[in-house]
Each structure stands twice: as structure tokens, then as C-alpha cells.
Amino acid sequence: MNAGKRYCLADYILTIYIPSDINFGENLIKIGGEGDYLSSITVSITEDNYSIVTDNSGNWLYNRNLARNGQLSISLQQVSDKVAQLKTLFYLMYNNQSLSEGLNITLTDNLGNLIVTCEDCVITKIPDQTFGQESATQDWSLLSGRITF
């Protein structure tokens, strides 16, 4: 008899490592786990790794692309304390003209198994700040120089 599979977003932890030349006060931000108001995490590579070229005679050739740059999206409820931390981090990075490296980010499960690594990341912008009758989500977008699954 096969056991059923179980999934819970709270079992995943996103860790943002902050470069030493940013005076943030802490060297990392952890997002995820229980009670953190995390709605979703999405990691995507920008370019296709393979494309195909064909000719009229029926020949084909696969072109391999070694680029692994991409995008990371973190969706948080606006009531999360992490939103204020991400806003502060964005402004510190934006105003630091001598910043030589971006953020390194990892996604792990609650057992410590590494799922994905995103290197040299930058926050693209602060998401829209919407204040309505109910709490909204904020989608934080980051670019990554290299993503390794």
C-alpha cells in the first residue's frame, strides 16, 4: 500500500543572505515556516536551455543555452514583518553606489535539504502598496544572475 503524499508551504524556508557591505544589522532574512504570512515562492529561469533549428531537408540541430539567469517572486501578506525588512533592504541596496554583489538566496525544506540557489540577486522594485478593507498580498520580484536547481 502506498502512503499518501503531504505538502505544506510552511515546510519551506527562503533564506536571503545579505552582503557584508550593506549595513542591515543582520546578515540574513528568513521567510517561511509557520506564522510568516508567506503566500507563495516562484523561481523561474528566463531563457530556454535548448532551442531547435531545422531546414527543409528534415535536418535539425539543438542549440544549447548555458544561461541560468532568471527571476524569483515572493508573495507575502502585507501584514508580515518581512515586508518592512524587504523595503529597508531595497532602499539600502538602491542607495549603495559601491555595492559590488547582490543577494544570495536559498530555498530549503524543513529538513535542511537544498532545493534551489539563486546567486547575485537584486530586488527589482517595491511592489504596489495597497491598503483596502482586507489584507492584500505583495509580490516581491527579484532578478538572479544564476539559478541552480
pLDDT for position 1: 67
Residue 35 CB contacts under 8 Å (≥ 6 apart), including other chains: none
Q: Are the C-beta atoms of residues 81 and 105 closer than 8 Å to each other?
A: no
pTM summary value: 0.88
How far are the Cα atoms of 31, 38, 105 from residue 128, in angstroms, in the given order?
A: 20, 17, 23
Mean pLDDT of 45-65: 95
17, 103 in Cβ contact below 8 A? yes
Q: Which pLDDT does position 3 carry in this prediction?
A: 78
Q: Are 11 and 41 in contact (CB under 8 A)?
A: no
